[in-house]
Amino acid sequence: MTNKKSYRPEISNRNPEFIAWGLALATLFAVIVLGSRQEIPAWAWFLLALFIFSGAVISLGNWVDRNTLLEIDKESVHFVNGLRDVTMQWQEIEHLWEGKGRVGMMVQVLSLTGHFSFILPSEMKFQGEVKSKVGFSEGAEIRDQIIKLAGLNETKDHNKGILYSRTPMN
């Protein structure tokens, strides 16, 4: 491999983010109107906090996805996502674990100096219809390249997944 190859994950639809922030604004408006006429009930504050928290979490997740980049070249793998920036030389990688994540299959790459994880391609369905795609569409290719270039071998089933390592583990 002579050139650097770059990968980006599927970018989620932003509608849930806009809906959460819209609900937060509508609830804030209702709290202001309600507060001008009577004492604001605890459930209204709870609902406002819930919608603000939901909007913030969804926005953070979308921001991280938009800033995620995974690059592979003949010397190293580089992963950056806005919260994590890791470069690993192939000889530094000790383990790769693949198993079930929260959304689809997940791959974790570990070295003594850092780690990162990514999701293999997965679809989120509602009533049999695909609503969004998540993960790296080339996830299996990325996983296979890391295993090959780092010189890892499948060692055993581990934590409901498969562990790849430089040396067999007992």
Query: What's the DSSP call for residue 23?
Result: H
Query: Is the pTM for the entire model greater than 0.75?
Result: yes
Q: Quick one: which of 132, 124, 72, 69 has its CA closest to 101?
A: 124
pLDDT score for 68: 94
Ordered mean pLDDT values, 10 residues apiece, the chain (170 residues): 84 87 94 87 92 94 92 95 93 93 89 92 78 85 94 80 76
Residue 42's H or E segment, with its range, is: helix 42-66
What are the CA-CA distances from residue 30 to residues 39, 40, 45, 50 (Å)? Answer: 12, 10, 10, 14
pLDDT the model gives residue 1: 52
Note the pLDDT of residue 166: 81
pLDDT of residue 158: 66
